[in-house]
Amino acid sequence: MELKIEGVSKTYANGVQALKDVALTIPAGMYGLLGPNGAGKSTLMRILATLQEPDTGTIHLGGLDVVRQKDEVRKTLGYLPQEFGVYPRVSAEELLDHFAILKGIPHKKARREVVEGLLRQTNLWEVRKQKLGGYSGGMRQRFGVAMALLGNPRLLIVDEPTAGLDPAERVRFLNLLSELGENSAVILSTHIVEDVSELCTRMAIIDRGEILLEAEPLGAIQEMRGRIWRSVIEKSALARVEREHAVISTRMLAGRTVVHVYRDGSPGPGFDLAEPDLEDVYFSTMAGRIGRRARAEVAS
């Protein structure tokens, strides 16, 4: 099922324009929405989840009008927000059973089968009797996915799902999302480049409410080949390098600074051609190094 977003804008009462004429076509599979905090990701996710309305624009999920047919959309939608509450003194099995009733599964036997299936799918069956207040961050996120999957949604929206997870829990959670993306459309909204790089077959980069780039990650990386240069310098030399070159990112390595520079030809002595990755695409896009024509070429 395809999700089509056209001309969506949203301005809050305080004058902040969260979204500016957003247009995206999101196919089945894993789709990444990548951008810094405050870029407009959560606003767009809440609009898609029918929790807010856009000021202008249209959104269609298959044949459904997301803005005008909210009740119908909610029947086929799963949503895991960035923060969600649980009852800490209730077990996962009990709370999921309760939400199954609210989702319209009245018969006890059918609910038991659905609840068991979801708890096994999210690897929580062995801790189903444990109170939710004792769950780790990763376990809570997986329980959130179990709730979002009630009703077999055709579209699953997850907002900043791996923020705060330890490395092991992050891997478990990403593996779960990858499996879900095989059978439905999953939108992953995040500021973590690695999450998109590892999971998504298509992505968009958003900043200040505008879509800066829409592309296949592998195609966008290929577009960067021959244009990313790397140098390891003393920290004291960083200001000079930034004045002389189009530095897109820096990081510390054993007390020294690794700089990545965007340039069609060699920046000069001390720089080596680097194999690009999605971080280079992201930082180049955010820095405006990929122009309109280049973005159109990547998107095509």
Written as one string, the DSSP assignment of 195-233 is: HHHHH-SEEEEEETTEEEEEE-HHHHHHHHTTSEEEEEE
Q: Tell me, yes or no, whether 87 and 235 share the same domain.
A: no
Q: What is the dihedral of CA 151, 187, 61, 142, to 10 degrees?
A: 10
Q: Tell me, yes or no, whether 238 and 119 share the same domain.
A: no
Q: Tell me, yes or no, whether 17 and 111 share the same domain.
A: yes
Which pTM was predicted? 0.86
Domain count, the chain: 2
Measured CA to CA, the distance from residue 49 to residue 148 in angstroms comes to 11
Q: Tell me, yes or no, whether 173 and 294 share the same domain.
A: no
The residue out of 216, 246, 274 marking a domain boundary is: 216
Per-residue pLDDT 10s for the chain (300 aa) are: 789 999 999 999 999 999 999 999 999 899 999 999 899 999 999 999 999 999 999 999 999 999 999 999 998 899 988 777 778 999 999 999 998 998 888 899 999 999 999 999 888 999 999 999 999 888 888 898 899 889 888 899 998 888 778 888 888 888 888 888 887 889 999 988 998 988 899 999 999 999 999 999 999 999 999 999 999 999 999 999 999 999 999 999 888 999 999 999 999 999 999 999 999 999 999 988 654 433 444 444
Residue 34: what residue type?
L
Sheet of 185-190, strands arranged across: 77-80, 155-159, 185-190, 29-34, 202-207, 210-215
Q: What is the pLDDT of residue 298?
A: 43
DSSP assignment letter at 131: B
CA angle, residues 141, 51, 187, in degrees to nearest 5: 50
Measured CA to CA, the distance from residue 31 to residue 212 in angstroms comes to 16
Q: How many CB atoms lie within 10 A of CB 95?
A: 18
Beta carbons of 217 and 196 less than 8 angstroms apart = yes
Beta carbons of 33 and 190 less than 8 angstroms apart = yes
Q: Tell me, yes or no, whether 145 and 237 share the same domain.
A: no
Q: Write out the residue range of the structural domain in which residue 272 sits.
A: 221-299
> What residue has token string 């376990």?
139
Look at residue 4 and give its three-state secondary structure: strand
The residue out of 216, 236, 265 marking a domain boundary is: 216
Measured CA to CA, the distance from residue 143 to residue 30 in angstroms comes to 20
Measured CA to CA, the distance from residue 70 to residue 161 in angstroms comes to 24
CATH code: domain of residue 44: 3.40.50.300
Q: What is the pLDDT of residue 81?
A: 86
Q: What is the total residue count of the chain?
A: 300
HEC letters along 66-125: CCCCHHHHHCCEEEECCCCCCCCCCEHHHHHHHHHHHCCCCCHHHHHHHHHHHHHHCCCH
Q: Tell me, yes or no, whether 32 and 166 share the same domain.
A: yes
The residue out of 190, 216, 242 marking a domain boundary is: 216
CA angle, residues 219, 223, 228, in degrees to nearest 5: 130
Residue 119: what residue type?
L
Q: For residue 220, how far is the Cα from the chain centroid?
A: 17
